[in-house]
Amino acid sequence: MCLRFVHVVPLLAVFHQVWSQNTSPLPKPSSVKEISVAVGSSVELHCANETTAGSDWRLNELSVGTGDVLHLHNTSLDDQGVYTCHDQDGDTVETIHLRLGYAPSPPEVRCWSPSYPVKALCSWTLTPDPVLQTQYISTYWYQGVVHPCPRQDEQVRRCVLEGLDIYSNEPYLVNITAVNALGSASRIISVIFEDIVKPNPPVNVKVKVLPGKKISVQWSPPPTWPDPVNFPLRYNVQFQWGKPEMTSVMRSIESDSVVRSGIVAGRTYFIRVSCMDFLGHGQSSDWSDLVNVTLPKS
Ligand SMILES: *[C@@H]1O[C@H](CO)[C@@H](O)[C@H](O)[C@H]1NC(C)=O
Ligand SMILES: *[C@@H]1O[C@H](CO)[C@@H](O)[C@H](O)[C@H]1NC(C)=O
Ligand SMILES: *[C@@H]1O[C@H](CO)[C@@H](O)[C@H](O)[C@H]1NC(C)=O
Ligand SMILES: *[C@@H]1O[C@H](CO)[C@@H](O)[C@H](O)[C@H]1NC(C)=O
């Protein structure tokens, strides 16, 4: 009997909890309505309970109007925020989160390959910025099949194409679609892998003064380029001194260094290096950062 009693006590405790929950006053349901509208449009915000005459509207706690319906004309981004509608007692009857922004415009898409033939990247921008949260769908179409163009995460406006065919006669059709609460827009661009090759700039550019009024320039290939031995690059080295027009470029260098003679003592030379796929596919890289060297006057 005693054992049985011990079992009953916790059971009673559970019943008590349930009972007290059911009879205590329930908190008011606090559902927030989300409304997204285009900048410049007019909006009517309705108080939940139409019979609540003399409603008072507040935006982020500041009074903005009275009445069942709040009219907003020619909205701007400043109209965004949390609107609450209050009854005569000041109790909140409705909570509306108003967001403003723009329907997506067709994305401006750019594709390039800093690591031919391993992969290509496509990135995109939207003008104007939609402001509202926007999702992207990135795919490409090749030989009748649609493939995803994967992104690192949902918000990143950049996707990666891997395992592409080289020297294909058929272009890859990249489809970038932007979707938000106000609409969607797509852009399809046609890509031939060889045409979009663009290495990153060379790195670790170093200059050294050599005897006999010479300087040597050394660099490393861009780390993103797959294998500079199997997929060689060629380099351009630019020397600039004094005014911008005082420039000379040593072109199509096939090694990772070059020596330039005829250097004038006391003059500062600014040097930068760019590279290109050896076979001339696509575009030259951007220039590396400038380094400078001054041959001391002796
Ligand atoms: C509006 O409020 C009144 C009084 O509080 C209530 O009787 C009525 O049911 C409410 N109507 C709606 C649609 O919530
Ligand atoms: C709407 O507001 C913008 C600036 O906020 C203004 O330039 C424009 O003229 C307004 N349009 C109308 C129809 O009032
Ligand atoms: C581009 O992608 C979107 C989203 O997946 C799709 O709705 C649309 O039909 C595609 N466009 C073409 C031309 O395939
Ligand atoms: C030359 O390069 C050094 C760093 O290597 C930098 O501190 C200096 O400002 C540069 N000189 C000029 C004239 O830009």
Asked whether 184 lines ligand 3 (CB < 6 A), one says no
d(CA 295, CA 298): 9
CB 184 within 8 A of CB 104: yes
The CA–CA distances, whole Å, from 110 to 78, 122, 187, 196, 227 equal: 33, 5, 11, 9, 24
For ligand 1, is residue 49 a contact (CB within 6 Å)?
yes
The rounded distance, in Å, linking the Cα atoms of 111 and 174 is 9
**Going by CA atoms, what residue is nearest to atom 2 of ligand 4?**
292
Structure tokens at 210: 């050599």
In this predicted structure, the answer to whether residue 18 has a pLDDT above a threshold of 50 is no
CA dist., res. 141 & res. 40, Å (int) = 37
- What does the pLDDT read at residue 53? 60
Tokens of 43: 């909006």
135-153: pLDDT as tens digits: 999 999 999 999 999 999 9
Determine whether the shortest distance from the Cβ of 74 to ligand 2 is under 6 A. yes
Contact 182, 132 (CB under 8 A): yes
Question: Chain centroid to CA 125: how far?
Answer: 8
Is the confidence at residue 52, as pLDDT, over 80?
no
Q: Which atom of ligand 2 has the smallest separation from the CA of 76?
A: 5
54: which residues sit within 8 A by CB, 6+ positions away? 66, 67, 88
Å from CA of 292 to ligand 4 middle: 6
Looking up tokens 């797959």, which residue turns up? Answer: 226
How much is the pLDDT for 207?
96
Cβ(257) – ligand 2 distance below 6 Å: no
Q: What spacing in Å lies between the alpha carbon of 186 and ligand 3's midpoint?
A: 7
Strands 145-148 and 135-142: antiparallel
Give pLDDT tens digits for 158-214.
999 999 999 999 999 999 999 999 999 999 999 999 999 999 999 999 999 999 999
Whether the CB of 41 sits within 6 Å of ligand 2: no
pLDDT, tens only, 246-295: 899 999 999 999 999 999 999 999 999 999 999 999 999 999 999 999 98
Closest CA to 233 of 264, 197, 259: 197
Query: What is the Cα–Cα distance from 79 to 60, expressed in whole angstroms?
Result: 10
Measuring from atom 14 of ligand 1, which residue has the nearest CA?
49
Q: How far is the CA of 74 from the centre of ligand 2 (A)?
A: 6
Q: Which of 250, 254, 251 is nearest to 215 (CA)?
A: 250
80 — pLDDT class (breaks 50, 70, 90): very high
Band the pLDDT of 25: cuts 50, 70, 90.
very low
Residue with tokens 């496509």: 122
- Whether residue 91 is predicted with pLDDT greater than 70 in this model: the reply is yes
- Picking from 41, 128, 104, 36, the residue whose alpha carbon sits closest to that of residue 76 is 41
Residue nearest to atom 12 of ligand 1 (CA): 49
Question: For residues 114 and 201, what is the distance between their CA atoms, to the nearest angstrom?
Answer: 9
